[in-house]
A and B are shown apart, each in its own frame.
Chain A
Amino acid sequence: MNPDVVVMGAGIIGAACAQALRARGLGVVVVDRRGPASGTSAAGEGNVLVSDKEPGPELDLALASRALWPELAEDAEWEEKGGLVVATAPGAVVPLQAFAAAQRTAGVDACEISAADALAHEPHLNPEITAAVHYLQDAQLNPVKATRTLLRGIEVRRAEVSTADGRSVTTTDGVISCGAVVNATGPWARTFGVNVLPRRGVVLVTTPIPGTIRHKVYDADYVGAVASGDADLQTSGVVESTQAGTVLIGSSRQRKGFDETIESKVLKALALRAIAMFPMLASVPVMRAYGGFRPYAPDHLPIIGEDPRTPGLWHATGHEGAGVGLAPATGRLLADLLTGGTPLVDPHPFRVDRPEVMV
C-alpha cells in the first residue's frame, strides 16, 4: 500500500515530521540512505536552547518546541540543566544584558546574575567573568535516542533517493508513490531545490570528569557567531558535560563544502576559548574530536512549507545548529500546514518562497 507521505531523511527533523504526521493518522514512510540520526543529528551536542535566539520567528518556534520536548524525550536522557551565558570582556556586559532584557519581553526566562552567583552555579568558571545570564529553559537530550523515540512504530527504509516530486520518490530500492513528500535531508536538502549549504562544526570530547560542569555554559559572543554568515572560521566558547561525564567543547563554524578534514587551527581555537572560560580544563585530556555539517540557509531561518514550484513537495530543513531544539515544533507546524490545520506558529517567515531560499 502506498503511504500518504514519504519523509526523506531520518534525522531529528525528519523523525519529528514523521511523528507529527502519523499523529494525524497519516501513513508515513521514512527513507534514509544510512539510517536514523546518521548525519547532522548525531554530530551535535543535543541542545534544546532558547538562550541563543533573539526575539523573532525562530525564538517563537524554539519556545513552542521547548514546550513539546519533555513529553517526547522521556527516554532520551532529557535533562533540564539550564544555560549560563557569560561575558568574558568588559565591553560584552551591556550587549548581553540588553539581549536578555529583550528576550524576557518575548517570554524567555533570562535571569541576570552576579559573577559571584555564576561562580556558585559553576565553581570552576574563570573568576574574571564580568556578567552572566542564567537561562532556566535551556535543556539537553541524547539526539540519537530522541530520533529513535520519535520514529517508534514508523517504517524506516534504508535507500538513497535520486529524485523526488510531490507525488513520488525514486530510490535505489524502487519508486514509492505517495500523496506528499517531505524533504528533511538537512545539509543535503539542496538536491531537492532549496538553497541550503553545509556549515562545518567540530566538537571536542574530554575524558569523563563527572559533576565538574553542570550547565551549558557559553561565551556571550556565541550569539554573534551564530548570526554571522561569514564563510571563514569562527569560534566561540561553548562548554557542557554529558550524562556520561565527558565534557563537550564547541563551537566552530566554517563554510567549506562537505570537507570532513579536521584542522589543527580549529582544535587550537576551541581549546583556547574553552580554557578562557574554565581554566581547569587545560589539564583535562581530549579523547576525541568529531565534526558535522549544519544545514545553513543564507537568511538564517528554517525552511518549513510547501514548494510553490512543485505541489506536494514540502521542505523542513535549514535549521542550522538548532535542529534538535526546533524539531518538535517544526514537525507540528509542517503537519498543521499539510493537513490544513491551524498553524502552531506563524508559518509566513519560514515559507519556501524567500529570495535567498529558492534556487
Chain B
Amino acid sequence: MRVVVVGAGPAGMAAARTAADAGAEVVMVDSEPDAGGQYLRGRAKFSHPGVTHLKNTEAWMVEGDVLHLRGPAVLRFDALVVATGAYDRPLPFPGWDGPGVITAGAAQALAKQGITLAGRVIVSGTGPFLLPVATALQDLGATLVGVYEASSPARWLREARAVAANRHKIGELAGYRKVLPRLETRTAVIGKHGDRVTVAKLDSQWRPVSHRTEHADLVCVGYGFLPRTDLLPSASRTDDFLDVDEHQRTSVEHVYAAGEVTGIGGADLAEAEGVVAGAAAAGHKPPANALEAVRRGRLFAGALARAHAVQPGWKSWPHQDTTVCRCEKVRLEDLSDATSMRELKLTSRVALGRCQGRICARNAAELTGVPFDGQRRVIAIPIPLGELADLPEEKS
C-alpha cells in the first residue's frame, strides 16, 4: 500500500504521518527545501521513519495511478493526498503592478527569511491573516502605517455559532496586540503612486466613500486565497475549492485532498483534515477526534468565508488604464465583452501569460461578468519541452 502526499504544510505533514502510522508506505513530495509549507516555513521539523520526504520536487500531473514529477520521474500510488494549499489573491488598483506592492503572503515569506525592513509599510486586504503579516513586518523593524481590513467587523456578529465553537481563535488575537491599534476596518488601499498611497473608507459593498493620502514604501495586499488545484483539473469543485466528502475523498478515484485546497480555515483545520485524509488513504477509519476537529473547524471556515467575502465594490478601484494581467500587460479597457472565459482570454490575452491566470483570471472574470470556470491547467508548472520528450514510455 503506497500513499503519496503532495505538499508538506500542516495538512500534508499530518496526512503523511497518519498514513505511515497506519502502516502505509508513504512518500511526501514538496517543492520546498524544508517541510512546513507557507504557514510553518522553516519552523517545522519533520521526520518519520515511515515517510520518504522528497524535497525540492515539483509534481505536475496526475494520470491514473501515477503522479508525474519534474525530472521527469513518476510515482505510482494506491492513494494520493493533495495538500497543495492556496496562494494570495490581490485585487488590482492603480499602481498595484508597480514597485512597492507585494502580496501579504510574499511579505510573510520575506519575514520568515529574516530580511529586515526599515521603511514604512501598509497591510491592506481582508481576513485574519493580515494581523500576523503586520506583526511579522513590525518585528522586522518596519514602521507600520496601518492595517486596513476592507470588511466590517459587524459581519462576525452574525457568526456566533462558529465563534463559540472555536473560542481558541479569539485567544490568538492577543498575539497580535501590538498591531491592533493600527487596525482600521472598512478601509483599503485603492491607489499607489511612488510613496503616495490612496487610502479609502469603504461602504459595505467596498465602494469608496472618502479617501485620504498616506505615505508608505511598501504595501502588502491580500484579499483571501485561491486554492492550488492544478493537479486535479477535472475534480469537482465549489467556488474553485476542491469538493471532499467526510473522509476527504475528492471526486477523482483514490485521490484525497486536505488543507486550504479544500477551503480556508487555518492551520489547525488543515492539520485535522490531513489526519482524516491520511487515515482514509491508508484504508483506516479516521480518528473520531480528528473528524470532530474538522467539523468544528469547517464551521469557522464557513464563517470566515462569509465575513471576509470579497465584495463587488472593488471593481470601481481600477481605472480604465489599470493593469489587470501583469504577465500579458492587459489593462481594464482591453477586456472585451466576452461570454466565456476562453473567449475573454483569446480576445484580450488576459490570463495567457507566464502565471497562467493564477493572479488575474478570477479578477478578470469578475470585472467582465464572465462566469469563472475555475483554474483547469493540465500542466501545473512550466516544463521544458525536452523533459516532456524524456517522459517514460510505460507507467512504472
Contact = CB atoms under 8 A, between A and B. Distances in A.
B346 A144 contact: yes
A36 B343 contact: yes
A145 B389 contact: no
B343 A286 contact: no
B63 to A, nearest CB: 6
Interface string A271-315: 110110000011111111111000000000000000000000000
A337 interface: no
A146 B228 CA distance: 34
A38 B340 contact: yes
Nearest to B61: A264
A142 B63 CA distance: 31
A2 interface: no
A286 B347 contact: no
A260 B234 contact: yes
9 contacts: A38-B339, A42-B343, A142-B347, A144-B347, A244-B328, A260-B234, A268-B390, A271-B389, A285-B382
Interface of B is mostly: loop
B386 interface: yes
A264 B68 contact: yes
A262 to B, nearest CB: 5
B6 to A, nearest CB: 17
Contacts of B386: 271, 275, 281-283
Nearest to A249: B385
Contact of B379 (A142, A148, A244, A286): A286
Contacts of B342: 37-38, 42, 144
B49 interface: no
A324 to B, nearest CB: 13
A283 B389 CA distance: 11
A289 B379 contact: yes
B164 interface: no
Interface in A39-89: 42
A27 to B, nearest CB: 22
Interface of A: 34-38, 42, 142-145, 148, 158, 204, 206-207, 244, 246, 249, 260-265, 267-268, 270-272, 274-275, 281-291
A267 B391 CA distance: 9
A274 to B, nearest CB: 6
A158 B339 contact: yes
B378 A289 contact: yes
Nearest to A145: B347
Contacts of B390: 268
Interface string B331-370: 0000000111011001101001010100000000000000
B384 A284 contact: yes
B383 interface: yes
Nearest to B382: A285
Contacts of A143: 346
Contact of B385 (A36, A42, A204): A204
A36 B339 contact: yes
A204 to B, nearest CB: 7
Contacts of A158: 339
Contacts of A144: 342-343, 346-347
Given A35-B343, A145-B347, A268 B384 contact: no
B388 interface: yes
B347 A272 contact: no
B343 A38 contact: yes
A207 B384 CA distance: 10
Going nearest first, the 9 A-B pairs with the smallest beta carbon separation are A282-B386, A35-B339, A285-B382, A271-B388, A144-B346, A271-B389, A268-B391, A289-B378, A262-B378
A264 B63 contact: yes
B343 to A, nearest CB: 6
B41 interface: no
B217 to A, nearest CB: 32
B385 A37 contact: no
B339 A285 contact: no
B182 interface: no
Given A244-B352, A285-B383, 6 more contacts: A37-B346, A42-B343, A206-B385, A268-B388, A287-B356, A289-B379
Contacts of A244: 328, 349, 352
B377 interface: yes
Given A144-B347, A145-B347, A268-B389, A286 B61 contact: no
Contacts of B354: 207, 287
A291 B382 CA distance: 17
Contacts of B63: 261, 263-264
B343 A37 contact: yes
Given A288-B356, A290-B378, A145 B339 contact: no
A142 B354 CA distance: 20
Contacts of B391: 264-265, 267-268, 271
A53 to B, nearest CB: 26
Contacts of B352: 244, 246
Contacts of B346: 37, 42, 142-145
Given A244-B328, A289-B379, A290-B378, A281 B343 contact: no
A136 to B, nearest CB: 27
B377 A288 contact: yes
A287 B379 contact: yes
Contacts of A290: 378
Contacts of B385: 204, 206, 249, 271, 274-275, 281-286
Contact of B234 (A261, A268, A270): A261
A312 B80 CA distance: 54
Contacts of B356: 287-288
